[in-house]
Structure 1
Amino acid sequence: MSSVSESSFRSSSVCLITPGARRTTLRTDDGLSIEAVYEPCTAGAGSAADPVAADAAIVIAHGFTGSADRPAVRRAARVFAQRAAVITFSFRGHGGSGGRSTVGDREVLDLAAAVAWARSLGHRRVVTVGFSMGGSVVLRHGALYTAPDTAAAEEQLPLTVPAHGGRTEAHADAVVAVSAPARWYYRGTAPMRRLHWVVTRPTGRLVGRYGFRTRIDHNEWNPVPLSPVDAVPLIAPAPLLIVHGDKDPYFPLDHPRMLVDAAQGGAELWLERGMGHAENAADENLLTRIADWSVAA
């Protein structure tokens, strides 16, 4: 795999959209290597390409302990590719990416690298779709990379976003958060209490590393990153879709409702009957509807 830095994306001219799938390594602004996969849109294969589909790319942000190669992520990519080009990647500490997971904090830099790659491939419209932890990341990314430069937003940046185009070339044109939390440190369900044990305890991090193939950073957040509910009002004017299952065992329905309320009319809410949590629970029908919304929004 070739290693390509984000800075090279910003300095290069826009190239033609790649005709075939490719796997590469991206470099984040804090110097980590992130594995990523690009797949072209399959709409109109063998005929003239749909100009809307050719223009759009969907970047998938997986959940905690996921990766670009997990079956549920590959299934989502396959469905999305029927409507637009797709980029999948593994967050830091997951799969073949470097570093350790910060469980939603610096992962915003991983997503920014993937979005910048999509634009370097010629896609003028980029939509981020995040699941669970990835849902919280797309919300923060949408706030930090599309909102005007306000003092409140600047104070919450995990690292300084480069002045040479980080905000303009790594922004999302629309945001979809599936099964996302509204607030940090939530322990109101048994699955979330187990997750906190994995993240905060030495023994739990060993289980994460060898049981779930996820390397977790032992440091506490400092400062605490912008929460999802506080990020949501900063995403406008980009369209925002919140998707949540009414059988989600991790986050009850007050989470998506809090997010939509915080958007003050700037978000659409889909409550999915019988759906569980994140990419593993998203069936093909829901994924197709998300892809259609992403292209049309």
Structure 2
Amino acid sequence: MLTDDGVPVEAVYEPCTAGSAGPGSIPPRAPADVPAIVVAHGFTGSADRPAVRRAARVFSQRAAVITFSFRGHGRSGGRSTVGDREVLDLAAAVAWARTLGHARVVTVGFSMGGSVALRHGALYTDREEGPEAREAAGRAPVRDRRTGERSGAHFGAHADAVVSVSSPARWYYRGTAPMRRLHWVVTRPSGRLVGRYGFRTRIATDDWNPVPLPPVAAVPLIAPAPLLLVHGDRDPYFPLDHPRMLAGAAGEGGAELWLERGMGHAENAADDALLGRIADWATAVPPA
């Protein structure tokens, strides 16, 4: 899979397993009739990490699933920009799901992937001003007039619904010890060495320029696509003011918020029961 800026991204497709239990089972449905869930992992994750594989297994009971490794992670090329250019990776994965025949595609992002899913939902739409319409008209990608960001040109790269789990609401947050450690990994040469050899994550050295649209500013632009926000009340990275800020930015009826009792952070803390509920929501909400 190749992104709009030419980065090769490792991706895995898994068909829906519903109805494949053996004799007497329901015949497989055509891809157009089966929703697809695209999973965006957290920082230092990858498509082959156990928590991502577990999420894919649960999701595949209800939908087809695409998992992928963000740039700088796993077997993907490039370097991690910690949530900036990763929006192009997610767009490529969503577009790939549509080329496989899936008419309905839902993004589910965790932590960094959750913030990427929010920005992707704001930047890539099926409305006239979206990047897909510009490509269809033969025009080069331009700066999005709603967000001020440059967005890619993958046709069909919009999500029909968005799920963001354990996402920050704002950038540069250092209010918890885990986030202070993460900033050390990202910003210091010695930290990036730890990221590369300790976490198998290759991190870009350049600062963001320009600073990408913050998640709290992206949320109001996702509608009319349905949005689900999920956050644990024991998240050691981002306290509950983050999901509440995101839900407030969405406005009345703009997002559903689940505050999960006893849950920690991101895909590692999401148990099978929660993943199943997320998949039920993703496959039940009608296309926007």
Q: Give the TM-score of the pair, scaled to structure 2.
A: 0.89
Matched, 1:161 2:152: yes
Equivalent-residue separation in structure 1 for 2:227 and 2:19 (angstroms): 27
Other structure's SS at 1:251 match: coil
CA pair 38-147 structure 1, distance change in 2 beyond 3 A = closer
Other structure's SS at 1:156 match: coil
Question: Could you say which residue in structure 2 is the equivalent of 1:128?
Answer: 107
What is the number of residues matched between the two proteins?
265
Match of 2:161 among 174, 179, 194: 174
Match of 2:72 among 93, 102, 113: 93
Matched, 1:251 2:226: no
What is the identity, as a one-letter code, of the residue corresponding to 1:239? Answer: P
What does 1:37-52 correspond to in 2, within 5 Å? 37-45=12-20, 46=22, 47=25, 48-49=27-28
Matched, 1:27 2:2: yes
C-alpha contact 1:53 1:295 (8 A) present in aligned 2: no
What is the identity, as a one-letter code, of the residue corresponding to 1:251? Answer: F
Question: Could you say which residue in structure 2 is the equivalent of 1:13?
Answer: none
Tell me whether 37-46 or 87-96 shows the greater mean CA deviation. 37-46
Q: Give the TM-score of the pair, scaled to structure 1.
A: 0.87
Equivalent-residue separation in structure 2 for 1:296 and 1:232 (angstroms): 21
- Displacement, 1:147? 7.0
- Displacement, 1:55? 2.0
After superposition, the CA RMSD in angstroms is: 1.4
Equivalent-residue separation in structure 1 for 2:31 and 2:270 (angstroms): 25
Question: Could you say which residue in structure 1 is the equivalent of 2:34?
Answer: 55
- Displacement, 1:53? 9.1
Equivalent-residue separation in structure 2 for 1:255 and 1:114 (angstroms): 27
% identity of equivalent residues: 78
What is the identity, as a one-letter code, of the residue corresponding to 1:203? Answer: S
C-alpha contact 1:83 1:292 (8 A) present in aligned 2: yes
Match of 1:102 among 81, 94, 111: 81
- Displacement, 1:146? 1.4
Match of 2:205 among 215, 218, 223: 218
Matched, 1:192 2:172: no
Question: Could you say which residue in structure 1 is the equivalent of 2:227?
Answer: 240
Match of 1:274 among 251, 254, 262: 262
- Displacement, 1:161? 2.4
C-alpha contact 2:9 2:68 (8 A) present in aligned 1: yes
C-alpha contact 1:129 1:175 (8 A) present in aligned 2: yes
C-alpha contact 2:31 2:100 (8 A) present in aligned 1: no
In structure 2, runs of 5+ residues without a counterpart are 130-143
Moved over 4 A (4+): 50-54
**Which has the larger share of strand?**
1
Match of 1:208 among 195, 212, 215: 195
